[in-house]
Amino acid sequence: MRLIIADDSLLIREGLARLLGRAGAEVAATAADASQLCREVALNRPDAVIVDIKMPPDYSDEGIRAAHQLRHAHPHVGVLVLSQYVDSEWAVRLIRDTPDHLGYLLKDRIDDSSVLLEALTRVMAGECVIDPSLIERLIHRPRESGPLDRLTARELDVLALMAEGRSNAAIAARLGLSIKTLEAHIRRILQRLDLEESPDDHRRVLAVLHYLRSGT
């Protein structure tokens, strides 16, 4: 796994490089801003990059914009955005156009190399990854009664894994279900939430995220 790390904090760049290096990854380069990241990707051809959301010069959404730029210029490079913000708006902005090869992970996770490596492996494989803590918060936040209340505990488990970007095969394996049983759960969930079925797992992620954000 060949990586590039972009963060305006030297401490975070070096910490991530050490953490991932000990786990067997190769950190080909680091960058302090989005422009440098794009140059390093062109030079080093990594398998994936890790990028902060807010970086110089404006500390606004440079990481999100860099992720979109990289997806256009280097479509097979996985991009994992690290954020301190438990805010679904950033995640939706990240994946709304091309969800594949993209991930959104909270910085609280970076002290756990196994979680970080799993997320990187998934975006490298073309999956869409959303931090489980964000999904948990969206599903269980206070809201008026609505369609979510009609879901069983098992269906809520399935919905959460759908929103994280898991494929049907991965969800079935995680929950110990057959594919046929899982597909029946998903059909019921989508019907109750008035969401359309889609053969594209990534587009399904976006639909579910939009639903959870809506406060319905």
| Structure token pair of residue 87 | 């805010």
Q: Give yes or no on whether 2-130 and 135-213 have one common fold.
A: no
One digit per residue, pLDDT tens: the chain, 216 residues? 999 999 999 999 999 999 999 999 999 999 999 999 999 999 999 999 999 999 998 888 899 999 999 999 999 999 999 988 877 788 888 887 777 899 999 988 777 788 899 999 999 999 889 888 888 877 777 666 677 788 899 998 998 898 888 889 999 999 999 999 999 999 898 888 887 776 666 667 777 777 777 654
CATH number of 135-213: 1.10.10.10
Check residue 99 and give its pLDDT.
79
The CATH fold of domain 2-130: Rossmann fold (3.40.50)
The pLDDT assigned to 87 comes to 75
Domain boundaries, the chain: 2-130, 135-213
